[in-house]
């Protein structure tokens, strides 16, 4: 199974706002066309990233995925090409066991940096990153059966 979900409202209140209307109205990531590889994540509110500034943006989203998959998060290509805006970690990799973790309920955040020379303006509802599901392989002699029991979210 592969599905995006809203984070629990309790987590939303902790990370973003106690505004139930905002919680009920934001939309989950979706593809913009039939052949789009990426699912667009949309801004929950307006924000501006000034030149040289780094901003952490909450998505309000968590994800369920299959055992042999990861979700890769990228900036939208136009953001880097036109505005020189980048993810601070270049690519975000969300593992299956990030879902519902005890630290943040699986809430995915995106950290963007404006390396351009003008303000980067995002309006509520604008797509600001995209997620692509990918299968991954393990070695033939892989014997890792350990499951993540605690979370260290280095933010």
Query: How many distinct structural domains can be found in the chain?
Result: 1
Range of the domain at 125: 3-134
pLDDT band at 155, cuts 50/70/90?
Answer: very low
pLDDT at 79 > cutoff 70? yes
Report pLDDT for 148: 66
Residue 77 within a domain: yes
Average pLDDT over residues 23-29: 97
Contact 112, 147 (CB under 8 A): no
Dist. CA 66–CA 133, nearest whole Å:
10
The contacts of residue 14 (CB under 8 Å, 6+ apart) are: none
Per residue in 87-123, pLDDT (tens digit) is 999 999 999 999 988 899 999 999 999 999 999 999 9
Domain-located, residue 149: no
**Beta strand extents in the chain (DSSP E only):** 3-6, 39-42, 47-49, 54-58, 61-64, 69-75, 85-87, 92-95, 109-114, 120-122, 127-135
User: Using an 8 Å Cβ cutoff, are 99 and 107 in contact?
Assistant: no
Question: CATH code at 118?
Answer: 2.70.40.10
pLDDT > 60? residue 10? yes
Q: Is residue 124 part of a domain?
A: yes
Instruction: Tell me, yes or no, whether 30 lies in a domain.
Output: yes
What number is the average pLDDT over the span 15-35? 97
Q: What is the pLDDT of residue 144?
A: 83
Mean pLDDT along residues 36-61: 98
* 78 domain residue, yes or no: yes
The whole-model pTM stands at: 0.90
- Give a yes or no: residue 9 inside a domain: yes
Higher pLDDT, 135 or 147: 135
Q: Which residue has the tokens 């303006």?
A: 121
Is residue 146 a part of any domain in this protein? no
For the stretch 50-63, pLDDT in tens is 999 999 999 999 99
73 pLDDT above the threshold of 70? yes
143: in domain: no
């Amino acid at each position: 199974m592969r599905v995006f979900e809203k984070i629990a409202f309790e987590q939303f209140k902790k990370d973003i706002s106690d505004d139930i209307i905002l919680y009920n109205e934001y939309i989950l990531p979706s593809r913009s066309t039939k052949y789009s590889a990426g699912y667009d994540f949309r801004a929950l509110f307006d924000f501006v990233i000034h030149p040289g500034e780094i901003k952490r943006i909450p998505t309000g989203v968590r994800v369920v995925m299959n055992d042999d998959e990861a979700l890769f998060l990228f900036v939208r290509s136009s953001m880097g090409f036109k505005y020189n805006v980048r993810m601070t970690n270049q690519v975000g990799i969300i593992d299956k066991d990030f879902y519902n973790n005890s630290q943040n309920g699986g809430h995915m955040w995106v950290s963007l940096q404006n390396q351009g020379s003008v303000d980067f303006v995002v309006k509520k509802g604008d797509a600001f990153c995209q997620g692509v599901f990918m299968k991954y392989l393990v070695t033939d002699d892989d014997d890792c059966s350990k499951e993540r029991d605690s979370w260290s979210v280095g933010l």
